[in-house]
Structure 1
């Protein structure tokens, strides 16, 4: 009887030990609630002060930092992270088996090589152990779906931590306007008018203001003959995160580049074979590679930009009675002459 009891207890011990081992192995292959998650990118063609970009997510905060090529901190943004967001992020890592992913993902044979995108590392730090998954070069096409989902969520957190508030944007915009040449020359009475966030791209904001100048004209007019007349102006700024991308006064003056804006012109092509346009032939000859089949407009934009250094938009086509096509597109005034030389005409 004692032998039976001993054997039974030994069996229970072995079963318990086996369960514990399975549990330990499971924990080793999971991201814990206390893990620190890091997204690191470097080596891309970018501004020197943004050479290294590091996102760190811990149990209480999200931190995003820029470093230059000398590994010196150039900017840092920090915001709190709530428990629900943190839990969902950890769950996403585990649902996509991050701890079991390969250490390196790179282009497979036959895939086009993406240039100037640098390297991506996603790290999970748990105690003394660090799991690193590297993508080199960084392109979503080289990554498995699960890793793409993880990366997308980390990019959302980066956007969250970098996104300025409306008040911060107003402060950035008003300071920029007052220091810009037109307002600093003779502007006064700067007044906020409107604020709008792009639905398609929440990182992009548009702010409108109005102000008064004591002379006509734009920019720094020192040494110029100017009319001394009170002039009302409107100015619209487009900001991406905290950076002023464009600033337009009265719809005609580019305050960033200090030039009058070029007017947009609609150009019309001659008759073309719908399936043998110059951009289609250029593509067929292997002059450019796309990860996925481009639309006709994407292809035409690439063609005119690469071959003629012309920026186009709003490409459209009409099928004529003889079955051929005629195309229209919009360009800046400076592109009219070179396009006319290759057979296009103003509409």
Structure 2
């Protein structure tokens, strides 16, 4: 009986030891609840002030920092992170076995090498075991599916950090207007009339204001002869995240570029083979690369913008009875002559 009891206790001890060993191995390959997650990108073809981009997810906040080529801080955005969002990120890292992935991913034989996208490093920092995964050059194409999921989640957090609150958007827009040439010259009584968030382009905001000027005209008129007359104005400001990308006063004045707005003209193409358009041929010849297959409009915009420096919009396509297609686009008046020489006509 004693021998049987001793044997049982030894077996229990060995079983417990084995379980403990397995548990320790699991912990070594796990991302802890207190881990710090870093998403670092650099080396891409981008603005100098955004040369290095660092996202840090700690226990309470998401920190997004931008640095220039001299490693000087150019911008920083900090937003709180709720417990559920952080828990979901840690669970994703563990469920996708982040700690067991390769240390580096790069193009394999037969894969196209993507240029100018830089390098991305995803890092988990914790007391017992840390890990860095490098994707060089950066492209989701070079990542396994589980790493792509992690990458997408961190990009989403990066966008979240960049996204301003409604009050921040309004403050940015109003401060921009008041410091812009037209309002700063003689404007007063700035009032917000409308605020809209784009449902198609996240991060894009349109705000409409009214204000009063004590003189006629637009811009800085200090060196002009102006009429002293009370003038009511409306201004539409479009922001992407925290940056003003477009602003027009009374639908006639470009406050960003300080010029009168050009008239927009609709141009119509000649009949052409639907699958052998100039932009499709240009794309097939390898003149441009996209991360994903472009839409027809994306390709047209890229083609005219790159080859002719013409800004186009509102592409429409009409299929004709003979199997050909005809296209219409909108361009600025200054581009009409170039398009006419290419066989396009005003619609």
Contact 1:112 1:291 in 2 (8 A): no
Unmatched segments (≥5 aa) in structure 1: none
Q: Structure 1 residue 300 and structure 2 residue 303: aligned?
A: no
| Cα deviations by residue, 1:295-331 (Å, 9 ceiling, x for unpaired) | 3333322222222222222222223343322221111
Indicate the SS of the match to 2:273: coil
- 1:226-241 paired onto structure 2 within 5 Å: 226-241=226-241
TM (norm. structure 1) is 0.93
**Deviation (angstroms), 1:54:** 1.4
Deviations 1:52-84 (A, max 9, x none): 221111222222222222323333222322222
Partner of 1:268: 268
| Coordinate RMSD, CA, aligned | 1.9
Moved more, 300-309 or 214-223: 300-309
- 1:104–1:136 contact (8 Å) kept in structure 2: yes
The alignment partner of 1:124 has SS state of: strand
Contact 2:28–2:129 (8 Å) recurs in 1: no
Q: How does 1:51-130 map to 2 (within 5 A)?
A: 51-130=51-130
Task: State the alpha-carbon separation in 2 of the partners of residues 276 and 296 from structure 1.
Answer: 12
Partner of 2:181: 181
SS of 1:129 mapped into structure 2: coil
Cα contact 1:38–1:122 (8 A) shared by 2:
yes
1:97 positional shift: 1.4
Q: In 2, Cα distance between the equivalents of 1:281 and 1:74?
A: 41
| 5+ long unaligned stretches in structure 2 | none
Q: Offset of 1:128 from its aligned partner?
A: 4.7
Q: Distance in 2 between matches of 1:326 and 1:10?
A: 85
Partner-residue secondary structure (3-state), 2:216: coil
2:252 maps to 1:252: yes
Aligned residues, how many?
347
The superposition leaves residues 177-221 of structure 1 with CA deviations (integer Å, 9 ceiling, x where unpaired) of 111110111111111212112223332222211111122211111
**Which aligned pairs between 1:183-202 and structure 2 lie closer than 5 A?**
183-202=183-202
Q: Are 2:28 and 2:128, in contact at CA under 8 Å, matched by a contact in 1?
A: no
SS class of match (1:169): helix
